[in-house]
């Protein structure tokens, strides 16, 4: 079956620090990969996605590259802000036209001024 | 364009009761998916509906059911509630095309006493 493993949190960083959240996956077939973010008291928002190997998804300064050889999709940001404090979820979908997301456990990020 | 709306936002029930949650997708979206979020199990896929038909179902007991109406609005029902059903229930809508991009609502928080 499908599974996603993310680094355990919480992660606490100072403003302007570099962020990396590791994500690796196991999938049957060729997955599409996603990062979602959840702010306190809200639902999930799609942050970025990649659908094939070596694709780089990017949004709001966040980036992640689909690495098929290492089955990874690590999230990075060069300079975090207090407003980036949230829970980040790595997720995948397999199967054309499927909408069944498999999520990692989530990583809570806190950015302090 | 209005986002995904879920009603009610909060709900308290007692064991053995049943509950119905509602989700209105973004206008024009034909696919609706449901997820359960708990601290222990994380985010888990319940089911997905497209054009009033269930296309996919997660690994949940038959007490969990859903349906979709002709206007794409969806409801999920949980019968014979158990304490472990306490969770945040998230609905996500999408066009139903191959983009696999889902837009989440704010969720309904269910507490079972």
How many residues can be counted in chain A? 113
Residue with tokens 């970025």: A48
Q: Which two tokens stand for residue B34?
A: 């449901």
Does A99 contact B90 at a Cβ distance shorter than 8 Å? no
How many Cβ atoms from other residues are within 10 Å of residue A16's Cβ?
A: 11
Question: Which among B4, B99, B102 is the top mutation candidate for probing chain A, defined by the most A β-carbons within 10 Å of its own β-carbon?
Answer: B102
Does B4 contact A32 at a Cβ distance shorter than 8 Å? no
**Chain segment A11-24, per-residue pLDDT in tens:** 999 999 999 999 99
**Residues ≥6 apart with Cβ < 8 Å to B70:** B52
Look at residue B99 in the predicted model and tell me its pLDDT.
73
**Residues ≥6 apart with Cβ < 8 Å to B55:** A99, B31, B48, B49
**Chain segment A46-88, per-residue pLDDT in tens:** 999 999 999 999 999 999 999 999 999 999 999 999 999 999 9
Does B43 contact A96 at a Cβ distance shorter than 8 Å? no
Look at residue B69 in the predicted model and tell me its pLDDT.
97
Run of H or E including B109: strand B108-112
For residues B69 and B49, the answer to whether their CB atoms sit within 8 Å is: no
**Chain segment B64-78, per-residue pLDDT in tens:** 999 999 999 999 999
For residues A25 and A92, the answer to whether their CB atoms sit within 8 Å is: yes
């Amino acid at each position: 079956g499908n599974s996603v493993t993310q680094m355990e949190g919480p992660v606490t960083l100072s403003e302007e620090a570099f962020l990396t959240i590791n994500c690796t996956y196991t999938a049957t077939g060729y997955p599409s990969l996603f990062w979602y973010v959840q702010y306190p008291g809200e639902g999930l928002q799609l942050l970025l996605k990649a659908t094939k190997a070596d694709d780089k998804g990017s949004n709001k300064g966040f980036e992640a590259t689909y690495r098929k050889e290492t089955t990874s999709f690590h999230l990075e940001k060069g300079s975090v802000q207090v407003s980036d404090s949230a829970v980040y979820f790595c997720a995948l979908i397999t199967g054309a036209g499927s909408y069944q997301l498999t999520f990692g456990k989530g990583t809570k990020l806190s950015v302090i001024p | 364009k209005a986002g995904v709306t879920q009603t009610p936002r909060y709900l308290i029930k007692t064991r053995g009761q049943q509950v119905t949650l509602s989700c209105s997708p973004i206008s024009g979206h034909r696919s609706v998916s449901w997820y359960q979020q708990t601290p222990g199990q994380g985010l888990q896929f319940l089911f997905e509906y497209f054009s009033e038909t269930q296309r996919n179902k997660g690994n949940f007991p038959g007490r969990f059911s859903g349906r979709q109406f002709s206007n794409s609005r969806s409801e999920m029902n949980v019968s014979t509630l158990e304490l472990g059903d306490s969770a945040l229930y998230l609905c996500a809508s999408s066009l139903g095309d191959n983009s696999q991009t889902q837009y989440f609502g704010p969720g309904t928080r269910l507490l079972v006493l």
